[in-house]
Amino acid sequence: MLNSSTLLTALQTFLDQRRVDVERLTAEPMVMAMFDWMRFAKVASVEGPPVADVLVYRYGGWSEGCATGFKLSLLRRVSERDAEGQVTDWYAGITLMFEPSRYAGLAPFSTVSTDWPSIEAFLHAIESSPAYKASASTMPMGVVMESGGLR
């Protein structure tokens, strides 16, 4: 059965096999690692192939209490249909967190790989984004492996 834990474990296993040190990732190798995971590690559940398997790129500022920052994320969203026909979206991916002042002028943004005519066009959209350009080789102040589910 696919769930957020199994999807996150699949990502961690893939990164371990590739000897990717998550704590030392910058935007460029993070994006390449997530694209490779999408291309080379197929995800299937007991019920069969997923309804959708896409990458979600998003960025924006965040605030929790007195803590603020800027998040740049690339997540894999795998959607599956249960026996009753309901679709659940499972997410796993990597989020880089940066000191926010450098990114104060950037509005939040989100796009999905299926919004683009090809995976190469999606990659170009990521690499052309202002957040990626500003952070491509900058060490983040934190890296988070994320997972979750949404019905």
Helix ranges (DSSP H) in 49-137: 119-128, 130-135
Q: What is the pLDDT tens value at each position of the chain, 151 positions in all?
A: 688 899 999 999 999 999 999 999 999 999 999 999 999 998 866 566 788 899 999 999 887 766 688 999 999 999 988 778 888 899 999 999 999 988 989 999 999 999 999 999 999 999 999 999 999 889 999 999 999 877 5
Q: What are the tens digits of pLDDT across the range 106-130?
A: 999 999 999 999 999 999 999 999 9
Torsion of CA 50, 48, 85, 149, to 10 degrees: -50
Residue 43 phi/psi, 5-degree rounding, is -115, 130
Residue 46 is predicted with a pLDDT of 57
> Which residue range is the domain that position 134 belongs to?
4-150
Q: What's the whole-number average pLDDT of the chain?
A: 90
Distance of CA 119 to the CA centre of its chain: 14
Torsion of CA 22, 147, 54, 85, to 10 degrees: 160
Count of structural domains within the chain = 1
